[in-house]
Amino acid sequence: MSTIRFENITKVFAEANAPAVDNCSFKVAGGSFVVLLGPSGCGKTTLLKMVNRLYEPTSGTITLDGVDIRELEPTVLRRQVGYVIQQVGLFPHMTVAQNVAVVPELLGWSKDKIQARVRELLTLVALPPDEYCARYPSQLSGGQQQRVGVARALAGDPKVVLMDEPFGAIDAITRSTLQDEMLRLQRKLKKTVIFVTHDVEEALYLADKIVIMREGQVVQYNTPLEILTHPVDKVVRELVGADDMIRQLSLVRVASAMTGLPPNYRHNVEHAKSTDAKTKLGSQPGGEPTVDCDDTLRHALSLLLQTGAPTLTVVEHAKTESGVEESTPVGLLSLEQIRASTPGGDQAKPEGAKGKPGPKVPRGSRARRCQGEAGPEGAKIDRKSEIVNLKS
Ligand SMILES: Nc1ncnc2c1ncn2[C@@H]1O[C@H](COP(=O)(O)OP(=O)(O)OP(=O)(O)O)[C@@H](O)[C@H]1O
Ligand SMILES: [Mg+2]
């Protein structure tokens, strides 16, 4: 997992009146999913292209795991950095399999290894290899082409993946499927991802942290939840729709709002297991309903209201090596935490919540990265009636 650091990065194109990227500084933690969000022309693509040296900064430094990328040969650097370009960019005269194999071939892998990798990746992006390997890009839908683009970027097993509006120009339903697949992939592969979009909802749903850009500058850099609850200015507030609580709940994932498991959780679960061997489907041994860490807060809220349970157990789903689906508890979510995720929420934290960090979310889990530096906070919802409306 590679850390990328941008230090005072500025890019001025020849004959331009203003810099395309203007003194940007931020750090992308290894294994995290960072989204660059901003209007057309604000410098997102330019910033991204400087990471694999398609553009060189006018001033400032970008480091990859502490190494100034100017010290790396561009070709060596680009092998470590997968890149999905803004317009998919598949080679039209090559089949799907040949497109995905481009980087492994450059890396000189054996034929067998390349073939296995292509099949593995197509399966990963939900394109059954037997059906799709031999097709040409023109024989695919837009969404399928985007998936091939993602598979191609991952092919050489890069440490870093840059994605420039990979789901742009795709209908809303396919886009939402691709976003879910992206989250699933990221949970499995744990790459360092910089993902560009100008779709606010996509950013709020996918990001561990969002860089909000305007006229080449970083306006705010934080978790989706922090940006929603503490937008730096009126423009960001309006951009992310920070005043619309219902919308927020539909966009923010459970992982950003939950607290970690209490220290004695596992012991209690073991105890419950030994005293009550039969646990209900979709619930933990303690009896609480479960919710996936990638579900939205709105879904979690309906579940709390439907079941009347005080707390939901948040689980992470993953397939074991043998292909069995397993769910691991990673946190807890109560109404209080959902309240804390709403505008003005932290003015009314629950007793004892202020200043005290919650229990820890497992190190290295996606859920932990989603919580970012901000961590869970407690608070109250002023507009209770809106919560009740969700029940219907
Ligand atoms: N090669 C170039 N030469 C000169 N100016 C450029 C070049 N590439 C981009 N620009 C300018 O730099 C600014 C930032 O462009 P960039 O492509 O980074 O925007 P963006 O945020 O990716 O926009 P979009 O959402 O439309 O893709 C724009 O004003 C653009 O016109
Ligand atoms: Mg762009």
| pLDDT at residue 1, rounded to an integer | 77
pLDDT confidence of residue 284: 52
Task: Write the residue with the smallest CA distance to atom 16 of ligand 1.
Answer: 43
Backbone angle region of 121, left / alpha / beta, with phi > 0 → left and psi within -120 to 50 → alpha: alpha
Closest ligand 1 atom, residue 216 Cα: 14
Residue 79's nearest CA partner among 166, 165, 194, 159 is 159
Residue 391: predicted pLDDT: 35
Asked whether residue 262 falls in the same domain as residue 359, the answer is yes
**Domain finish residue from 244, 269, 287:** 244
Q: Which atom of ligand 1 is nearest to the CA of 196?
A: 22
Which residues have C-beta within 8 Å of that of residue 298, sequence separation ≥ 6? 246, 249, 250, 390
Per-residue pLDDT of the chain (392 residues; tens, 9 = 90+): 789 999 999 999 998 889 999 999 999 999 999 999 998 899 999 999 999 999 999 999 999 999 999 999 888 888 889 888 767 678 999 999 999 999 899 888 999 999 999 998 898 888 899 999 999 999 998 888 888 988 898 888 888 999 998 887 677 777 787 788 788 778 888 889 999 998 888 899 899 999 999 999 999 999 988 898 889 998 898 888 877 777 778 888 888 888 888 887 766 666 655 554 444 434 554 567 899 988 888 888 888 888 888 899 999 887 766 777 788 899 999 888 888 777 655 543 433 333 334 444 554 455 544 444 333 333 333 323 333 333 33
Structural domain includes residue 249: no
Q: Is 40 in the pocket of ligand 1 (CB under 6 A)?
A: yes
**Concatenated DSSP letters of 186-245:** HHHH--EEEEEES-HHHHHHH-SEEEEEETTEEEEEE-HHHHHHS-SSHHHHHHHTTT-H
pTM reported for the whole predicted model: 0.75
CB 16 near ligand 1, within 6 Å: yes
Is the shortest distance between the CB of 42 and ligand 1 below 6 Å? Answer: yes
Atom of ligand 1 nearest to the CA of 48: 18
Domain end: 218, 244, 270, which one?
A: 244
pLDDT at 48: 94
Nearest CA to ligand 1 atom 27: 40
In Å, what is the CA distance from 314 to each residue of 164, 201, 268, 294, 319?
Answer: 31, 22, 16, 9, 17
pLDDT at residue number 114: 94
- Is the CB–ligand 1 distance for residue 20 below 6 Å? yes
On whether both 8 and 115 belong to a single domain, the answer is: yes
- Give the residue, by CA position, lying nearest to ligand 1 atom 12: 20
So what's the pLDDT on residue 71? 93
- The Cα 22–Cα 25 span in angstroms is 9
Give the Cα separation of 85 and 91 in Å (integer).
12
Q: Does residue 189 form part of some domain? A: yes
Rounded CA-CA distance 69/87 in Å is 26
Has residue 372 been placed in a domain?
yes
Question: Is 84 inside any structural domain?
Answer: yes
Domain total in the chain:
2
Co-location of 153 and 205 in the same domain: yes
Q: Which two tokens stand for residue 311?
A: 């707390």
The reply to whether 168 and 222 lie within a common domain is yes
254 contacts 296 by C-beta, under 8 angstroms: yes
What 238-241 contacts at long range (C-beta under 8 Å, 24+ apart), as own/partner pairs, is 239/200, 239/212, 240/200, 240/204, 241/200
In-domain check, residue 369: yes
The C-alpha atoms of residue 292 and residue 306 are separated, in whole angstroms, by: 16
Q: Are residues 350 and 272 both part of a single domain?
A: yes
Among 217, 244, 271, the domain boundary falls at 244
Give the containing element (helix H, strand E) for 8. strand 4-11
Ligand 1 pocket residue status of 13, Cβ below 6 Å: yes
* Ligand 2 geometric centre to CA of 35 (Å): 13
Task: Tell which one of 35, 37, 45 to mutate to probe ligand 1, the residue whose CB is within 8 A of the most ligand atoms.
Answer: 45
Same structural domain for residues 117 and 219? yes
Domain containing 166 — which CATH number? 3.40.50.300
Residue 114 CA to ligand 1 centre (angstroms):
35
CA of 86 to the centre of ligand 2 (A): 7
E strand or H helix that includes residue 170: none
For 332, the domain range is 254-390
Q: Is the CB of 75 under 6 A from ligand 1?
A: no
